[in-house]
Amino acid sequence: MSKPKFAMYWAASCGGCEIAVLNIHEKILDVDANFEVVFWPVAMDAKYKDVEAMDDGSILLTLFNGGIRNDENEHIAKLLRRKSKILVAFGSCACEGCIPGLANFSPAHEIIDTSFSTISTDNPDNIRPQPSYQMPEGVITIPTIYPVLRTLEQVVDVDYFMPGCPPESHQIEAVIDLVIQVVQGKPQLPPKGATIGAGNSTVCDECKRKRNEKMIKEFGRIQLVHADPELCLLEQGIPCNGPATRSGCNARCPSAGAQCIGCYGPAEGVQDYGSRLIAAFASVIDSEKPEEIDRILDGLVDPAGQFYRFNLAGSMLRASMSAKLSGGK
C-alpha cells in the first residue's frame, strides 16, 4: 500500500518555517515513515511540472508557508490547493502576512526604488528587474511583484491555520501526529478553518506575571527600563502585545523578560489586532488630558510595527492608501 503524499512550499517569507520543521528532531522520521514527500523545493529536487501532472487531491497534506507577493506565489498556491486534500497555512507569513506584509505600507515602486537605487546598492546603471529578458541561451522570466502582499486565505481556500514565527516544534508535532492518526482511522480532524497547534485565549492568560491594574505615565523601550521580573510588563509601561495575541507559546517571551511582540497573531475573537492593542494600551494610561495622552503615546517609537508587525496584510487595514491606490486591495 502506497503512503499518503506530503508537500511543503516556501512563498514570501524568510525561510524560518522550513528550518522549524528540523526542530522536531527525530520526529521527522515519522514523516518519512508515514508519508511520501513529493514536493519540498528547499529539501529536494522538485519541479512544478511534476506537481501539475499529479491528480487533483492526490496530496494528503501540504504545509504552505509565506504570503502571496508575486504571480509565482499565487500560481503555486492555487496549484497546491487543487492538488491537496488538506492545505495548512503554516506560520505567520501565510496566516497573517507577518514581516513581509509590512511592505504593504509602501507602494511597490517605492520598494523597488529602495532595493535598487539607494546608497546601499551599487547599481550605477540603475538596472531594474524585468519580467523577461533575452539571454543568448533564450528568454528568461522572473515573477512579477504584486502591489501588495496577500495572505494565503485571501488567495485560496485554507483548511487549517498554524501561527507562529516560526511555529514551535510542539505545534508541528501535534499536526503530524493528528494527520497520521486520521490516516490510521483514529480521531477525526478538527472543524475546517480551525487554528491548530495553538491556544484559543491570549498570551496574558498564560503569563505568570502579576497584574495589579496599575496605570502608567509613560511608555518605554524594554532595554531602557529596569523592569520588575514579577509584574506585568504593560503595567510597567513596557508595550507588550500579550492582551491581543493568541496563546499557545506558554508566554515564552514575557517569561524570559521580553515583551510579547505578537507572532502568534490575533487571539480567538479578535477582529482587528491593532485595534484591540490600541484599546489595551489606552486602558493603562493614567491621564484624561489630551496633551499628556499624546506625550505618553509618543513613547511608542514604532506604532505601525507595534500594532501590525505580524498581521498588517491580514488585518482590516491590510495596506496603506498609497499601496491600495497603486493597485493593491
Q: How many other CB atoms sit within 10 Å of the CB of residue 164? A: 25
Pull the grid cell for residue 274: 491593532
Tell me whether residue 76 is in a domain: yes
Residue 20 belongs to domain with CATH number = 3.40.50.700
**Is residue 325's pLDDT more than 70?**
no
- Among 49-53, 117-121, 293-297, the minimum mean pLDDT is found in 117-121
**Using CA atoms, how far apart are residues 320 and 329, in angstroms rounded to an integer?**
10
> Band of the pLDDT at 119, cuts 50, 70, 90?
confident
On the question of pLDDT at 328 being above 80, the answer is no
128, three cell numbers: 531594474
Dist CA 273 CA 277 (whole Å): 6
Please state, in angstroms and rounded to a whole number, the distance separating the CA atoms of residues 239 and 299: 9
Q: How many structural domains compose the chain? A: 1
Does residue 26 lie in a domain region?
yes
Judged against a pLDDT cut of 70, whether residue 1 lies above it is answered with no
Given this model, what pLDDT does residue 76 score? Answer: 97
Mean pLDDT over 14-42 rounds to 89
Helix (H) / strand (E) containing 23: none
Cell of 121: 546598492
pLDDT tier at 256 (50, 70, 90 boundaries)?
very high
Element (H, E) at 261: none
CA dist list (Å): 98 to 48, 102, 161, 166: 26, 7, 14, 10
Give the helix ranges, DSSP H, for 23-70: 28-34, 48-52
230 assigned to some structural domain: no
What pLDDT, on the 0 to 100 scale, is given for residue 327? 66
pLDDT for 329 equals 60
Return the pLDDT at 59.
96
In a domain, 254, yes or no: no
Residues of the domain holding 72: 5-97+151-183
Answer yes or no: is 90 within a domain. yes
Strand-by-strand arrangement of the 36-39 sheet: 36-39, 5-10, 59-65, 84-90, 160-162
Contact present, 223 and 181 (Cβ < 8 Å):
no
Tell me, yes or no, whether 93 lies in a domain: yes
Give the whole-angstrom CA distance, residue 227 versus residue 236.
7
Q: What percent of the chain has pLDDT over 90?
A: 66
Tell me, yes or no, whether 316 lies in a domain. Answer: no
- Over residues 129-149, mean pLDDT: 91
Confidence bin at 105 (pLDDT 50/70/90): very high
Question: What average pLDDT is seen over the chain?
Answer: 91
- Of the CA atoms within 13 Å of residue 234, those in its CB half-sphere come to 24
The sign of the dihedral angle between the CA atoms of 196, 95, 249, 26 is: positive
The pLDDT of residue 25: 86
Q: Does any domain span residue 235?
A: no
Of the CA atoms within 13 Å of residue 258, those in its CB half-sphere come to 6
> What is the pLDDT at residue 103?
94
Q: What whole-number distance in Å separates Cα of residue 124 and Cα of residue 107?
A: 23
With a cut of 70, say whether residue 118 has pLDDT above it. yes
Residue 163 has pLDDT above 90, yes or no: yes
Q: What is the pLDDT of residues 57-85, one digit of tens each?
A: 999 999 999 999 999 999 999 999 999 99
